[in-house]
């Protein structure tokens, strides 16, 4: 058996993995708190997620705002990318141990796309004296009475959570997703990875729930032609040579 | 610290090693196309013209890239947000399943390999039929690689049989065995998977890796859809209008807290 010494053998890499959140020990500690002896009976999963990502336990106001944000952001129907991927993945026979990963890839793309499109709205929120109107993409075009009521409650709650200078506007009625991301923004969550983590945690069970109600391999009861693809050809010139 | 031994590769000064050979010397002289490196990666150590031709025919046979085929549609859906790499790699995660091509390929390859082990070289049709019956008895009555949905024959298998006609591929052991298995499976239409399983076994791919080999061999189809969908599909793919969604779940209801609010 032969071996070699090469470039990567000579680089002075760190010799140990670095842990900054979970301290590996008999009762693992998360940012210093013991999981079995403390957190398991003193906080809920949402507070635990916040602790992991932010580093401290949330205040009562932050917890309430986070709950509202994530529940508002959670539902994605089967026509929306990640849930469609979950159902289609099931139809195509993706095994259970892979399906969550598949959906998480789609969620990552979907959330990043939302973050990009909502950037003007989040910029509006950051401006103490905004020089432009609330971007249209954040406004619910024709709100139902229930949405008007829910938004009024959200605006009132946001005043309590964030104070008079940072509450969400009482009018117009915001789109559900725009309001959800606004709450995360007001909570100070600016790292896109942290937002990805929290929104993925909220949406993954919903998307997988649709998949769990879909029979693996059921291609005939799945709307294969939604969306519909049509194969077309243009007059294209191809250049390829064969070996002489 | 213990080492995990790897025989795949190593970065050296001025050259690299890949499976025991110099990349810029040995491999640069012997590598005909990327297919050669793929064969090496799959554990094949005899990279010969007939093995290259087998993989070429499999790749051709797998060029059936209708966007509505479920794993490809999945690739397009993910790529529709704009990142072809996410679509390409994400979509192929379904290849780990048992229902679509790669999953059934493993079953077909294991079946053929098991039968080959039982019957030895040049068996009669009757001996193969007997071994096939024994394999089916062990695997819940199934022999993977049969069944052709939506049409009478699998055009991919028909075409590959035609292209392999009168070539050395036809004379290889697992190819001949697969033909005998097809003969014995009366009333079951063979699909391309059982043929490709025979070809991959003849190439020297281990049965449990034949599904992965199939995935790799049709990578171009996934790639084409990922690339196109990333610039073409957009919201038409990932934001289907609610009019095209039929809800069949539980009827509307309220929590106790909401009822109290009226």
- Rounded distance between C-alpha atoms, residue B5 and residue B221, angstroms: 34
Q: How far is B124 from chain A (nearest CA, A)?
A: 37
- Write the pLDDT tens digit of every residue in A103-151: 999 999 999 999 999 999 999 999 988 878 999 999 999 999 999 999 9
- For β-strands A29-30 and B9-11, DSSP reports them as unpaired
Residue B198: both structure tokens together: 């025979």
* φ, ψ (nearest 5 deg) of residue B64: -125, 75
In this complex, is the C-beta atom of B238 within 8 Å of any C-beta atom belonging to chain A? yes
Task: Give B89's contacts in chain A (Cβ within 8 Å).
Answer: 105
Task: Give A211's contacts in chain B (Cβ within 8 Å).
Answer: none
In this complex, is the C-beta atom of B11 within 8 Å of any C-beta atom belonging to chain A? yes
Give the ipTM of the model, two decimals please.
Answer: 0.94
In this complex, is the C-beta atom of A113 within 8 Å of any C-beta atom belonging to chain B? yes
Give the closest residue to A184 by CA, choosing from A71, A66, A74, A73: A66
- Write the pLDDT tens digit of every residue in A53-91: 999 999 999 999 999 999 999 999 999 999 999 999 999
Residue A230: both structure tokens together: 């049509």
Length of chain A: 244
The DSSP H or E segment spanning B22 is strand B21-22
Nearest CA in chain A to B236: A227
Give the closest residue to B11 by CA, choosing from B3, B23, B2: B23
Most A CBs within 10 A among B68, B221, B247, hence the mutation to make, goes to B68
The DSSP H or E segment spanning B21 is strand B21-22
Yes or no, beta carbons of B73 and A4 under 8 Å apart: no
Residue B151: both structure tokens together: 């049409």
**Can you give the pLDDT of all 262 residues of chain B as single tens digits?**
799 999 999 999 999 999 999 999 999 998 888 888 989 999 998 899 999 999 999 999 988 789 999 999 999 999 999 999 999 999 999 888 888 878 899 999 999 999 999 999 999 999 999 999 999 999 998 999 999 989 999 999 999 999 999 999 999 999 999 999 999 999 999 999 999 999 999 999 999 999 999 999 999 999 999 999 999 999 999 999 999 999 999 999 999 988 888 7
Provide the chain B residues 166-225 that lie in CB contact (below 8 A) with chain A.
none
Give the closest residue to A105 by CA, choosing from B103, B227, B102, B92: B92
In this complex, is the C-beta atom of A75 within 8 Å of any C-beta atom belonging to chain B? no
pLDDT for res B34:
86
| pTM, full prediction | 0.93
For chain A, what is the largest distance between any 2 Cα atoms, rounded to a whole number of angstroms?
79
- Rounded distance between C-alpha atoms, residue B13 and residue B37, angstroms: 21
Q: Would you call A30 helix, strand, or coil by DSSP? A: strand
In this complex, is the C-beta atom of B241 within 8 Å of any C-beta atom belonging to chain A? yes
Q: Which of A6, A81, A110 sits opposite B10 (nearest CB)?
A: A6
Answer yes or no: is pLDDT of A243 > 80.
Answer: no
Using the CB atoms, write b or e for B199-237: b if 16+ within 10 Å: bbbbbbbbbebbbbbbbbbbbebbbbbbeebbeebeeeb
């Amino acid at each position: 058996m032969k071996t070699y010494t090469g470039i990567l053998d000579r680089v002075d890499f760190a010799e140990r993995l670095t842990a900054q959140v979970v301290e590996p020990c008999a009762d693992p500690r998360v940012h210093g708190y013991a999981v079995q002896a403390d957190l398991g009976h003193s906080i809920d999963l949402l507070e635990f997620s916040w602790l992991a990502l932010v580093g401290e336990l949330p205040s009562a106001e932050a917890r309430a705002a986070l709950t509202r944000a994530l529940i508002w952001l959670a539902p994605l129907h089967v026509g929306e990318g990640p849930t469609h991927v979950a159902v289609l993945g099931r139809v195509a026979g993706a095994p259970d141990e892979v399906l969550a990963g598949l959906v998480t890839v789609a969620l990552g793309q979907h959330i990043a796309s939302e973050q990009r499109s909502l950037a003007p709205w989040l910029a509006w929120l950051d401006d103490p004296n905004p020089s432009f109107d609330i971007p249209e993409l954040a406004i619910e075009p024709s709100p139902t009475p229930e949405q008007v009521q829910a938004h009024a409650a959200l605006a009132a709650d946001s005043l309590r959570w964030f104070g008079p200078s940072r509450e969400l506007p009482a009018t117009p009625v915001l789109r559900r997703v725009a309001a959800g991301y606004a709450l995360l923004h007001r909570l100070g969550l600016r790292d896109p990875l942290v937002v990805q983590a929290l929104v993925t945690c909220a949406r993954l069970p919903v998307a997988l729930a649709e998949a769990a109600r879909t029979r693996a391999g059921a291609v005939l009861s799945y709307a294969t032609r939604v969306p519909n693809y049509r194969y077309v050809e243009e007059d294209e010139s191809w250049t390829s040579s064969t070996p002489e | 610290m213990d080492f995990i031994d790897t025989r795949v590769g190593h970065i050296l000064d001025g050259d690299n090693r890949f499976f025991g050979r110099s990349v810029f010397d040995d491999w640069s002289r012997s590598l005909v196309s990327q297919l050669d490196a793929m064969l090496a990666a799959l554990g094949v150590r005899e990279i010969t013209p007939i093995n290259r031709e087998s993989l070429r025919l499999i790749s051709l046979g797998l060029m059936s890239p209708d966007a509505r085929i479920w794993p490809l549609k999945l690739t397009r859906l993910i790529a529709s947000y704009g990142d072809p790499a996410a679509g390409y790699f994400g979509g192929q995660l379904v290849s780990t399943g048992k229902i679509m091509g790669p999953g059934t390929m493993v079953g077909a390859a294991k079946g053929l390999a098991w039968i080959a082990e039982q019957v030895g070289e040049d068996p009669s049709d009757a001996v193969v039929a007997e071994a096939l019956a024994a394999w089916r008895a062990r695997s819940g009555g199934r022999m993977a690689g049969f069944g052709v949905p939506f049409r009478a024959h699998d055009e991919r298998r028909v075409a590959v049989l035609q292209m392999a006609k009168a070539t050395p591929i036809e004379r290889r052991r697992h190819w001949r065995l697969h033909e005998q298995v097809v003969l014995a499976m009366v009333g079951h239409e063979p699909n391309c998977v059982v043929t490709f399983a025979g070809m991959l076994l003849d190439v020297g791919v281990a049965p449990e890796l034949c599904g992965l080999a199939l995935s790799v061999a049709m990578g171009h189809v996934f790639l084409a859809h990922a690339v196109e969908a990333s610039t073409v599909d957009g919201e038409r793919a990932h934001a289907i209008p609610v009019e095209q969604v039929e809800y069949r779940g539980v009827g509307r209801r309220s929590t106790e807290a909401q009822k109290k609010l009226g």
